[in-house]
Amino acid sequence: MQQHEIGFLIFPNLTQLDFTGPLQVLSRLPGARTHIAAKSLQPVPTDCGLSLLPTRTLDDCPQFDLLCIPGGFGVVDLINDQATLDFVRRQAAGAKYITSVCVGAFVLGAAGLLRGKRATTHWAYTELLPLVGATHEKARVVRDGDVITAGGVTSGIDFGLVLVSEIAGRQAAETVQLGIEYDPDPPFDAGHPDRAPAPVRASLEERYAKSVQAYRNALVPLAA
């Protein structure tokens, strides 16, 4: 069976489901070998009080076939982190799929990998995509050549299934989907900014405003 080296980057203050959703899906891709890379092998704290253990340091990874960058508030600290950006560029140069979930897109962007590409990110941050040379496409999973970006957090599960289907075919993806019983049934229809109640959207926009501004401040010098 063909091996697929699936590599994730993790970092302090990631949104853990951005990573754990696609990890669950992609680890069931036939032939998958998953790698969880971080700056050191020390536990990596997430946004949930949960810490995760990397399996690789940035300097000790095989060439990935698929590189995936999850998001989280911690991404802002990577935008000017040369060691991380060098790792991302190095892996992207040899990877078949260069991917992100949520605001992980801005790590790809800071590494120069979204220039001229259609892409997406968490809904509250899409207006920042032009700062890394990308055009926002309104979809949950956006493919432009070898670059595949997913929207916020849970879109990483749909993204993972799209990738399994692409790499191993529809039946493989359906098998993973049934295995994780992914027959979603959200109790409300509030998961898309166009359909969420206005006060719900407004309260989140207020909550994210500082973070969006911090991303903008970090990205504007790159755009110049």
List interacting residues with its own copies (CB under 8 A): 15-17, 20-21, 23-24, 27, 34, 36, 43, 47-53, 55, 102, 122-123, 140-141, 151-155, 157-158, 161-162, 165, 170-171, 173-175, 177-188, 190-193, 195-197, 199-201, 203-204
The answer to whether 102 is a known catalytic residue is yes
**Minimum distance, C-beta of residue 132 to its own copies, in the bound complex (Å):** 20
CB of 220 to its own copies, least distance (A): 25
Nearer to its own copies, 82 or 206 (CB): 206
Token couple for 152: 């916020």
3-state secondary structure of 8: strand
Neighbours of 138 (CB within 10 A): 11
Which letter does DSSP use for residue 192 in this model? S
Strand partners, 7: 35, 67
Nearest distance, CB of residue 80 and its own copies, angstroms: 26
Minimum CB distance to its own copies smaller for 49 or for 82: 49
**96 or 192: CB nearest its own copies:** 192
Angle at 100 between CA 94 and CA 101, to 5 degrees: 160
Distance of CA 34 to the CA centre of its chain: 15
Closest separation in Å from C-beta 102 to its own copies: 8
Rounded to a whole number of angstroms, the minimum distance from the CB of residue 69 to its own copies is 16
- Given a contact cutoff of 8 angstroms between Cβ atoms, the answer to whether 101 and 155 are in contact is yes
Nearer Cβ to its own copies (111/153): 153
Give strand pairing partners of 69: 100
Q: Which is nearer to its own copies, 172 or 222 (CB)?
A: 172
Q: CB burial class (10 A; 0-12, 13-18, 19+) of residue 184?
A: exposed
Residues ≥6 apart with Cβ < 8 Å to 79: 106, 107, 110, 215, 218, 219, 222
Give catalytic residue positions. Answer: 102
